[in-house]
Amino acid sequence: RPVTSLPRLREMAARGEKLTMVTCYDATFAQLLEEASVDTLLVGDSLGNVVQGESSTLPVTLAHMAYHTAAVARAKRNAWLITDMPFGSYEASPQLAMASAVTLMQAGAQMIKLEGGGVTAETVRFLTERGIPVCGHLGLTPQRVHALGGFRIQGREEAAAALLRADAAALADAGAAMLVLELVPSVLARQITEAHPQMMTIGIGAGAGTAGQVLVLHDLLGLTRGRRPRFVRDFTREPGSEGDAPGLSVAQALRRYVVDVKAGLFPDETLHGY
Ligand code: KIV
Ligand code: NA
């Protein structure tokens, strides 16, 4: 398949082809996700939870992110590689953000992602003007879990929805090429997607109206223990099958995710939306 570039992603989104994104933290899974033709790999700071055993993403450092980015970059071929800027590596100033972004790009990232709305717009502009592709992240922003009061849906009340729309507009205006929308009502995610066609929206718990979808790898493979958020689907299982029915292999499950996102079968608004 052709190498995935920003213009190619834009062209796919403009055609209405849904973009696929999965988190990835190591070389083995990078190879498997390549074989499944996943469009974009995200070295997410969710590695704090699923790899490091932390209960939030706050302890993850820039050095951790660079280490995992380098591992993924060595194995990836055609997918587009995005890395999260970890907590504390970008908030204080555009200059701090630039230095952190350089570290991650030198480790192999092609785009960096940072959380937050209007306050980060100045930083997003600073980076994009200097040739760093930027992905925003709004809605439930896990680095702010203590300020938000937990992992819960955002933008349900009209005032909060209006704030989210304004944040999205500020990020689009600052040059963000992509925007992750996490745990927001489907209607709001669709509005933001339609309002900013130049900023590709990627949803997680944001319904079917976004330009693309992302899931945490370990959730998609049914490996995560504990309470499973409703937006997650275990792709190793046939929908509706019993727990002891034979499951799909990892390679099959990853392909199934890609096929179902591209076909508009995942997410299902009623099963996975808010
Ligand atoms: O770190 C992560 O996995 C993420 C995705 C959930 C978007 O930011
Ligand atoms: Na993240």
Domain ranges, ordered by start, for the chain: 6-272
Question: Which of the residues 129, 157, 182, 238 is marked catalytic?
Answer: 182
Per residue in 50-89, pLDDT tens? 999 999 999 999 999 999 999 999 999 999 999 999 999 9
Tell me the β-bridge partners of 46: none
Q: Is 239 a residue whose pLDDT tops 80? A: no
Close Cβ partners of 174 (under 8 Å, ≥ 6 residues apart): 121, 122, 124, 125, 128
Phi, psi of 201 (to 5 degrees): -90, 140
- Superfamily per CATH, domain 6-272: Phosphoenolpyruvate-binding domains (3.20.20.60)
Q: Atom 2 of ligand 1 has which residue's CA nearest to it?
A: 44
Q: Is the pLDDT of residue 270 over 90?
A: no
Q: Which pair of tokens denotes residue 143?
A: 């680095």
* Percent of the chain predicted with pLDDT > 70: 99
Contacts (Cβ under 8 Å, ≥6 apart) of 63: none
Residue 184 has pLDDT above 90, yes or no: yes
Q: Would you call 182 a catalytic residue per the annotation?
A: yes
Name the residue among 40, 38, 33, 37 with its Cα closest to residue 5.
Answer: 40
| Longest CA pairwise span in the chain (Å) | 53
Per-residue confidence (pLDDT) for residue 269, from 0 to 100 = 86
Please compute the mean of the pLDDT values over residues 101-123 and round it to a whole number: 97
Q: For ligand 1, atom 4, which residue shows the shortest CA distance?
A: 44
Interface predicted TM-score (ipTM) of this complex, two decimals = 0.99
Could you list the beta-strand ranges (E) of 68-109.
80-84
DSSP state of 206: S
Average pLDDT (88-117) is 98
Q: Please tell me whether residue 124 adopts helix, strand or coil conformation.
A: helix
Q: What's the token pair of residue 161?
A: 């929805």
Examine the pLDDT at 259 and tell me if it is beyond 80: yes
Distance from the alpha carbon of residue 244 to the mean position of ligand 2, in angstroms: 32
* Half-sphere exposure (Cβ direction) of 4: Cα atoms closer than 13 Å: 22
Q: What is the pLDDT of residue 240?
A: 75
- Is it the case that residue 159 has pLDDT exceeding 80? yes
Give the pLDDT confidence score for residue 98 in this predicted structure.
98
Q: How do residues 3-54 score in pLDDT, each as one tens digit?
A: 999 999 999 999 999 999 999 999 999 999 999 999 999 999 999 999 999 9
The annotation places the binding site for Mg(2+) at 45, 84, 115
Distance between CA atoms of residues 127 and 101, nearest Å: 8
At residue 169, the pLDDT reads 98
Whether ligand 1 lies within 6 angstroms of the CB of 184 is answered as no
pTM for this structure? 0.97
